[in-house]
Structure 1
Amino acid sequence: MAHKPHEECGLFGIYNKDGLQVAEETYLALYALQHRGQESAGIAVNDGGVITVHKDMGLVPDVFDEKTIKKLGSGQLAIGHVRYSPSDKLERANSQPLVMRYVKGTLAIGHNGSIVNIPELKKELEYGGAIFQTSCDAEIIAYIIARERLNAGSIEQALVNTMKKLKGAYSLVMMSPKKLIAARDPQGFRPLCIGKIGESYCFASETCALTSLGADYVRDVEPGEVVVVDENGLRSLKDHCGQKSSLCIFEFVYFARPDSVIDGQSVHFARQNAGRILAQEHPVEADLVMGVPDSGLDAALGYSYESGIPYGMGFVKNRYIGRTFIQETQKQRERSVSIKLGALGAAVKGKRVVLVDDSIVRGTTCANIVANLRAAGAKEVHMRISSPPFMHPCYFGTDISSREHLIACKMSIDEIRDHIGADSLGYLSIEGVHAIAKESNLSMCDACFTGRYPIEVPDEMPKDKYDQKIKA
């Protein structure tokens, strides 16, 4: 697990009625969603019922160039996917979209989230003769949809039937020969929205992708809703709507791009609200408020507004270091912090600094950042975190997989303060984190902080849910 929690994937889909180049539009949308997944990227294009897919490991501009975009063609429908996997399986076979051929035709699917009952579903399917080529949830979901389609009157009804069997987090984009389909789990763990370019509809994980295309935001997909776009326009099925929602609170704390609006709430202002509440809950006398780039900047601005302490830059971020630079050994991780973030000595020397970040997972990175500020001449460093302490694993698509990796499970707040070398440490309260997104239409999941899971989860998180042995 890295020094920051990661979310699993970003999705996009488009139904073209305006002569758009769907592969190019999808490429640009995935570029806007790159923050949601940097391990692989893929685009599938439907041209007259023939689906062509290109996908590979790497960032969007590494996977696609002008030649590959042109090769995908200019079909009527397309879906795209960027992936981050919370498991250790970094394999090309797991990159999405997945394209499946079955008795009713061809199906392409992209998935964001994590299904908690996948081991049981996989076991049942394997006993029925199923053979799987990947270790991602999307393949199992597609297999169940294909089986349900044999008795359902449409692909969207097959998806509705499939949703009865799925437990956990899933936002989906799907493409059949003639339809573009999107769905969101009944709790709405992961975001998904609807946009429109002229007469062409599109789906995206975040509104920032719509903005990048010049698309108009229509609305969010409701938790439990299945939305279908075909030659007759847009319609939806709401068989699974109406349950208590549980949008992941970390979409507002860290995952989503600041310029996105999720279920009615601006991410930028939610993070500023977090900073304001932090200043109320953990005031301190200081000369400068600064954020850890980039995740702590908005909250730092809110802290400054509320406290009256001037806001300023304390670090310069090296923009030319990608994820591939982050190494696995502890020493390499520690060195990467200094190379990625350079402390501005002229700005912090002799000053009492409030340093704001979104979270502390292991504590190592935070300790290095504090040490860098002190080396640059900061007189005091007061750490403020715009979320509560991580205390429990996440089963819904975030790579907080084990309590053994969480520093808050091993140390008290005072001990963490001493461990990272700060003069003081303050976390946002549970009440505070629930107050940051008052404009949101949905209730929030806070299980990683409280252990209050909105649905039934396994007693123990397996290291890899796909490699559990089937018992006879």
Structure 2
Amino acid sequence: MTKTPKGDDFAASAAIRLKRLGARYRRRRGELDAIIGASKLNEECGVFGVIGTPDAAALTALGLHALQHRGQEAAGIASFDGHHFHNERHLGLVSDNFSDAATLHRLKGSAAIGHTRYSTQGDTVLRNVQPMYADLDRGGIAVAHNGNLTNARKLKSELVQRGCIFQSTSDSELFLQLTARSHQLSMVDRLIDCLKQVEGAFALVVLTKDALIGVRDPVGIRPLILGDLNGSAILASESCALDLIGAKFVRDIRPGEVVICRANGEVESRQVFPPHSPARPCIFELIYFARPNSIVDGKSVYQLRKKLGMRLATEAPCEADMVSPIPDSGVPAAIGFAQASGLPFEQALIRSHFVGRTFIEPE
């Protein structure tokens, strides 16, 4: 049996793997807008975090690559080595910036968080790239955010009038500013105090000197899951990030829940906001955005898309010679429609697989 490399060997192995995966990914970019047009949707990013392993940065880089479909503008990783925080943020793809073993070695520590950016607010410039970091009186804090705050403009205006200085134009910086101004004693309680002031969609991974923290908004608009790798807790936007590194899926983070993960493997749960019934997850995640091999809110993305196609055949039957999908997200739905209607499934449109998701490329 081949042993999994550790420490420096694992970082070097991860770097080599990212170079190979990145080359494959770059070959798949460039022509998709010729098929579906260059639509610009603005609400997605990918987040990942792990604690309790010496390979935290390398695992985070691999996890972010698995979430690359959620954001192609920029990527960043922050780590903590027990004494100091380290932060690397770059414009471009994960594999373009974290496939060098020297870069991963600079991100020392047994805990790390990462972010792939697809901007909701703020220009595509380095100061808006996450994770965002700040030194507070209770220690450092790094934040990676997927979502969009609907009261960001109001909050920022109030904070600027009180003398706060913002270093970015991203709404995500509000989590740092509001946490810094809280009068609560612990960093977790300060973060919770912050969460009670924001409105909108947010799935967060937060790194402090003591813990890795995961947060999901009260109605569960953005996805966030808990995983495990040999006793090390993992947080990620989608389960496909766990598959790439050989981790196991534990459960979804509940809407309104805060989970505090420790280096010793302990995971504490706090239901900060009362559960909303029913939850209101973004339907776009299941219809289009999430990878088909992911599990989102307990549902197989592939199977749900297939069932939607079957439902469509029942509700809107039609006379046709065949069923053909708009590749690739439409394939499972077309299969379901074909099976339910008895029509043949044919690939009338062939998408080049040397193409990526150009609709999320920056202007």
Q: Which TM class, normalised by the smaller chain length? A: 0.7 to 0.9
SS at match of 1:317: coil
Q: Is the 8 A contact 1:7 1:36 kept in 2?
A: no
Q: Residue 62 of structure 1 aligns to a residue in which SS?
A: helix
Matches within 5 A, 1:58-457: 58-87=92-121, 89-148=123-182, 151-232=183-264, 233-244=266-277, 245-322=279-356
2-structure distance, mates of 1:214, 1:306: 36
Please give the alpha-carbon distance, in whole angstroms, between the structure 1 residues aligned to 2:140 and 2:321. Answer: 61
Please give the per-residue CA displacement for 1:297-321, whole angstroms capped at 9, x wherever unaligned.
1111111111111112222222334
1 CA distance for matches of 2:240 and 2:48? 11
2:44 is matched with 8
Encode CA deviations 1:35-90: one digit per residue, 9 max, x unaligned. Answer: 11111111111111311111111111112222354333441100010011134722
Q: What is the total number of aligned residue pairs between the two structures?
A: 325
Distance 1:27 1:107 in 2: 19
Q: Which runs of 5+ in 1 are unaligned?
A: 330-472
Report the residue type matching 2:157 in the other structure. K
* Deviation beyond 4 Å, 4+ runs, structure 1: 322-329
Q: Is the 8 A contact 1:222 1:241 kept in 2?
A: no
Unpaired segments ≥5 residues, structure 2: 1-36
What residue number does 1:29 align with? 63
Once residues 326 and 84 of structure 2 are traced to their aligned partners in structure 1, the CA distance between those partners, rounded to angstroms, is 47
Residues 363-409 of structure 1: per-residue CA shift (max 9 Å, x gap):
xxxxxxxxxxxxxxxxxxxxxxxxxxxxxxxxxxxxxxxxxxxxxxx
Give the direction of change, closer, same or farther, for the CA distance of 1:32–1:242 in structure 2 (3 Å limit). same
Identity %: 42
Contact 1:39 1:82 in 2 (8 A): yes
C-alpha separation in 1, matches of 2:263 and 2:61 = 23
Structure 1 residues 281 and 239 mapped into 2: Cα distance closer, same or farther (>3 Å)?
same
Render the CA deviation track for 1:68-118: whole Å, top value 9, x for unaligned. Answer: 543334411000100111347222211111111122221110001111111
Task: Pick closer, same or farther for the CA change 1:299–1:236 going to 2, 3 Å.
Answer: same
Calculate the aligned-residue CA RMSD, in Å.
2.1
Query: What is the CA–CA distance in structure 2 between the aligned matches of 1:88 and 1:158, rounded to whole Å?
Result: 25
Distance change (3 Å), C-alpha of 1:27 and 1:311:
same
- CA-to-partner distance for each residue in 1:139-171, whole Å, 9 max, x for gaps? 1111101211xx223111111111111111101
Once the two structures are superposed, residues 149-200 of structure 1 have per-residue CA deviations (whole angstroms, 9 ceiling, x without a partner) of: xx22311111111111111110100001121111011111100000000110
Q: Which structure is larger by alpha-carbon Rg, 1 or 2?
A: 1
Q: 1:310 to 1:49 in 2, by over 3 A?
A: farther
Q: Secondary structure at the match of 2:324?
A: strand
Q: TM-score, with normalisation over the residues of structure 1?
A: 0.66
For the 8 Å contact 2:121–2:169, the answer to whether it is kept is no
In the alignment, which residue of structure 2 is the partner of 1:46? 80
User: Is the 1:39–1:83 Cα contact (8 Å) retained in structure 2?
Assistant: yes
Question: Structure 1 residues 238 and 87, CA, compared in 2 at 3 Å: closer, same or farther?
Answer: closer
What is the identity, as a one-letter code, of the residue corresponding to 2:303?
F
